[in-house]
Amino acid sequence: MKRAIKLGVLLVTLAAIMVWALAADEGYENYNNEVRAAFTTLNDNVRVYATTANAAPGEYVDINIRLDENSGITMLFLNVSYNSAVLERVGLTAGDTMLLPQPPPTDANPFNTNFELADPTGVSTATGNLATIRFRVRDYAPVGATPVTISVSSAYVAYGFVFNAVNVSVSNGLVNVTAPQEEPTPTPTATPTATPTPPTPSPSPAPPTPSPSPTPHITIAIVLNAAPGQLDGSGYITWLRPIGETVNSLPTPTRAGYTFAGWTIDGNAVNLPYTFNANTTLQATWTAIVAPSPSPSPTPTPTPSPSPTPGPSATPAPSNIPPGLPTHQPLPIPQDPPTHQPPPLVHQANDPTPKPTLSISASQSLWQ
């Protein structure tokens, strides 16, 4: 009996578990159907754009990044770039539609920034200002238009804890740098004269000359495409100029391993000055840098040594012997002087004078 009761309780428990599992599965399927229906309603109709403003060199200007036509968004990541040679970013503040958790450093260009809701699982369909970027126009910035480029890194919409990517269309902003206004020169006041003069009747004013009707201001776009090189940190820049303007100089792009060969329009070289009368795209051309091959070392040519110049012949020293006298020759040295025998003395009978007798010993010599 007890075993039957236990078996019944076990069967009831298993049945309850199966009913709960089926209900949970049905609820999960219903939740997924709700998510799919919600994402179908959110038709990716989201648009982000930047505004346009005018400023002279040295002035501050605000560019707003706005959210428009928002069908639903939870998180948005943007990338913003600009020309640092013309603009200096001095501030970035959040708008009234989404939160800006961590502003990027002011010296970053380009810079990334993200916008999100206070509830990370919520959906916002609000439109309005996302953020305001404050720039200062540099003192020596050229007159003309400089773009503020924005792009979307990623965008998500959430339904509960399920996230889905959102396609967002973007439009870039623009800062028109205007010429600085010159202050009017004050007119010096006239010095009154001591003696008053009678007033001279002024002539009747001439009828005003009708001024010519102003020429309509037409702006054209000049695109300088440096790709695959770089120009001001980007592959291309866009100028907005009045139609008919003459340009005397163009910037020089850079490219690693190449030298800039000039700008072309439709394959034709641009000769400055050049007058632009329509929207024009200029393409940069490049010449590859060829490394010079090492040249062989030249074989040195032997230099002939000069022949020695014969020196002057020796001149004999002058003789002190008077001319006409014989040259003294040394007397020969006898090896063994001979022994002289005295000749016999012969007395001639017919010579009465006695002759002297000379005797020479063997040790005496007649040599001087």
**Spatial contact of 55 and 137, defined as CB atoms under 8 Å apart:** yes
CA 268 to chain centre: 27
Structure confidence at residue 348 (pLDDT): 47
At the top level of CATH, which class does the domain 219-288 belong to? mainly beta
Query: Longest Cα pair distance anywhere in the chain, in angstroms?
Result: 220
Q: Please tell me the distance from the alpha carbon of residue 110 to that of residue 78, in angstroms, as a whole number.
A: 10
Q: Please tell me the distance from the alpha carbon of residue 317 to that of residue 315, in angstroms, as a whole number.
A: 6
Q: Count Cβ atoms within 10 A of the Cβ of residue 102 and give its class: 0-12 exposed, 13-18 middle, 19 or more buried.
A: exposed
**Spatial contact of 245 and 276, defined as CB atoms under 8 Å apart:** yes
**Apex 66 CA angle, 63 and 68, nearest 5:** 155
DSSP state of 201: P
**Apex 320 CA angle, 318 and 325, nearest 5:** 115
What are the structure tokens assigned to 198, written together? 């009678």
Structure confidence at residue 366 (pLDDT): 45
User: Which residue reads 């501050």 in tokens?
Assistant: 60
Residue 144 C-beta-side C-alpha neighbours within 13 Å: 20
What sign does the dihedral 215-217-218-222 (CA atoms) show?
A: positive
**Spatial contact of 244 and 277, defined as CB atoms under 8 Å apart:** yes
Q: How far apart are the first and last CA of the chain?
A: 186
Q: Please tell me the distance from the alpha carbon of residue 264 to that of residue 224, in angstroms, as a whole number.
A: 10
Within this chain, domains 46-177 and 219-288 share the same CATH topology = yes
Q: Which residues pair with 170 in a beta bridge?
A: 48
Identify which of 135, 146, 168, 167 has the alpha carbon closest to the alpha carbon of residue 64: 135
Residue type, 189: T
Domain ranges for the chain, please list them: 1-41, 46-177, 219-288
The domain 46-177: what is its CATH number?
Answer: 2.60.40.680
Q: Please tell me the distance from the alpha carbon of residue 333 to that of residue 58, in angstroms, as a whole number.
A: 125
Structure confidence at residue 335 (pLDDT): 56
Is pTM beyond 0.85 here? no
Structure confidence at residue 177 (pLDDT): 94
3-class SS at 216? coil
State pLDDT tens for residues 115-144.
Answer: 887 677 678 888 889 899 999 999 989 999
State pLDDT tens for residues 273-299.
Answer: 999 998 899 999 999 998 776 666 666
Residues of the chain with pLDDT under 50: 31, 35-36, 40-41, 214-215, 314, 317, 319, 321, 325, 340, 345-349, 358, 360, 362-368
